[in-house]
Amino acid sequence: MLVLAAIVPHGDEILIPEDEESARLHNAMIELGERIKEKKVDEYIFVSPHHLRIQTHMAIMLTEYLEGSWKYKNLRFRRKIKCNKDLAWEIYEKTRKSLPVVGVNFGALEGELSKICLDWGTLIPLYFLPKRKMVLMTPAREIPYESLIDFGKIVGEIVMNSKKRIGVIISADHAHAHRKDGPYGYHPDADYYDKYIMENLENLDMLLKLKEKTIENAKPDSFWQLLILNGILKGNPLKLKKKVYGLPTYFGMAVAWYE
């Protein structure tokens, strides 16, 4: 069953906060980690935009392990995560016949040599979260919007019928065009996009009303993952419990979760 779904940031700034907005996001992530323990989450389904990106296809990791390290300023940490291969294969088999989905392994088919590196979109949130088995996947931005929602619906059905207490973790930073001195420059649609997302977290169907040009101008890192979340929540009507937004640098970040 699905007991919790969360939208989490993956900017370095939340690891060692040096301003009020980063601190609020940092503290919200600590609170989320505690909430996951309280809700007795057994496993994660994790969606990251920065793992293996396969053009036009959703990538589902079928490896035995996920492993990686990260460094930011004086902070160093490493994570090695056991995958739930049975759940990963179930999602793959139930989606691949009707949707653009690819199953990915690396090295050996099973055992210690069946592993793939963790990306920063996964590692940075995992710094705050209790260690659990997980399934990791990455969507392509070329997949039609409705297909991403349909993928989420199937995942939601699988989760709903599971005997495990599952948490869905959506790694998603928002518009990246908030500052002229940022790598993507400034566009007013960045502010519009972030406000629109935060105002519609309880009605993710509204995502489909965003114009493609607005999304292109805002340069978000969240839209496609949120469509998947929308599909997952269709059959699992959780309620929004908390949302925190911050803009410590050129891109927007948010922590939000549903129970």
pLDDT higher than 90, residue 144: yes
The one-letter code for the residue type at 131 is K
Domain limits, the chain: 2-174+220-258
Which of the four pLDDT bands, split at 50, 70 and 90, describes residue 191? very high
Per-residue confidence (pLDDT) for residue 104, from 0 to 100 = 97
Mean pLDDT of the chain: 97
Per-residue confidence (pLDDT) for residue 65, from 0 to 100 = 98
3-class state of residue 9 by DSSP: coil
Per-residue confidence (pLDDT) for residue 117, from 0 to 100 = 97
pLDDT higher than 90, residue 93: yes
Per-residue confidence (pLDDT) for residue 237, from 0 to 100 = 87
Q: Long-range pairs for 206-213 at CB < 8 Å and ≥24 separation? A: 207/145, 208/145, 213/189
Task: Tell me what the mean pLDDT of segment 41-58 comes to.
Answer: 97
Which pLDDT tens digit goes with each residue over 20-33? 999 999 999 999 99
Q: In what order do the strands lie in the sheet with 58-61?
A: 101-104, 58-61, 133-138, 43-47, 166-171, 2-8, 253-258, 240-246
Per-residue confidence (pLDDT) for residue 195, from 0 to 100 = 98
Please state which of the four CATH numbers 3.10.28.10, 3.40.830.10, 1.10.260.40, 3.30.1520.10 is assigned to the domain occupying 2-174+220-258: 3.40.830.10
Which of the four pLDDT bands, split at 50, 70 and 90, describes residue 162? very high
